[in-house]
Amino acid sequence: MLSFFKDYKGFAIVFAGISLVIVLIIYNTLNVYKPLPIYQPAMVSTELVDSTIQHQKKYHKIADFKLINQNGRTITQNDYKDKIYVADFFFTTCQTICPIMTDHMAQIQKEIMNDNDIMLLSHTVTPEIDTVAQLKRYAQKKGVNDDKWNLVTGDKKQIYQLARKSYLAVKDHGNGDAFDMIHTENFMLIDKKRQIRGFYDGTNPEDIDKLLNDIEVLKAEKK
């Protein structure tokens, strides 16, 4: 019996080595890095996209903007240059989905507080109500960190164009006229090239977990 094992010792070593290689190949195949998609208007439901860009298949980026934050400071795309950020649309007097969304944004803020690569951007859809003073009160109530999270107001038409033509975020077709109202639960993940890399239900805790995970995926993509 002992001689039998001696005779097959070499074979056993080779077999064990091959088995290890196979296991590693399977493991690496199952854990292969999968980059996040780069969303184009043609990839998104036409309900969420302005008709002028619904068939665009490439080169889509968030447009330049100029808005005012909770401290009365002008915020532009330059404030988010070379940053990954999460964007949404809300209003401070909303009593339905917005409080849930804002609480989830606060949760994200907590998770990314010490990460200089990540920021947050919330656009009010009722700028006639959400003045700088109103946004400041709301920011203080919700624990907004001014270095991480801007709540912005400004020209209503610009905000509505951003929602439909840049962030591909809302179903309503309003263009920012006096009685228009857009309302969306979507959170958008934007990369450092101003591209949309993910859509998430801002009222769903599972989607928030996925968003946080996707932020890590996006960060790994840049390394």
Asked whether residue 98 is marked as a ligand-binding residue, the answer is: yes
Of all helices (H) and strands (E), which one includes residue 19?
helix 9-30
Single-letter residue type at 32: V
Structure tokens at 220: 């790994």
Asked whether residue 94 is marked as a ligand-binding residue, the answer is: yes
85 φ, ψ to 5°?
-145, 160
Asked whether residue 60 is marked as a ligand-binding residue, the answer is: no
Contact 188, 87 (CB under 8 A): yes
Helices (H), 65-173: 98-112, 132-142, 156-161
Single-letter residue type at 11: F
How far apart CA 68 and CA 66 sit, in angstroms, is 7
Binding residues for Cu cation: 94, 98, 183
Residues belonging to the binding site are 94, 98, 183
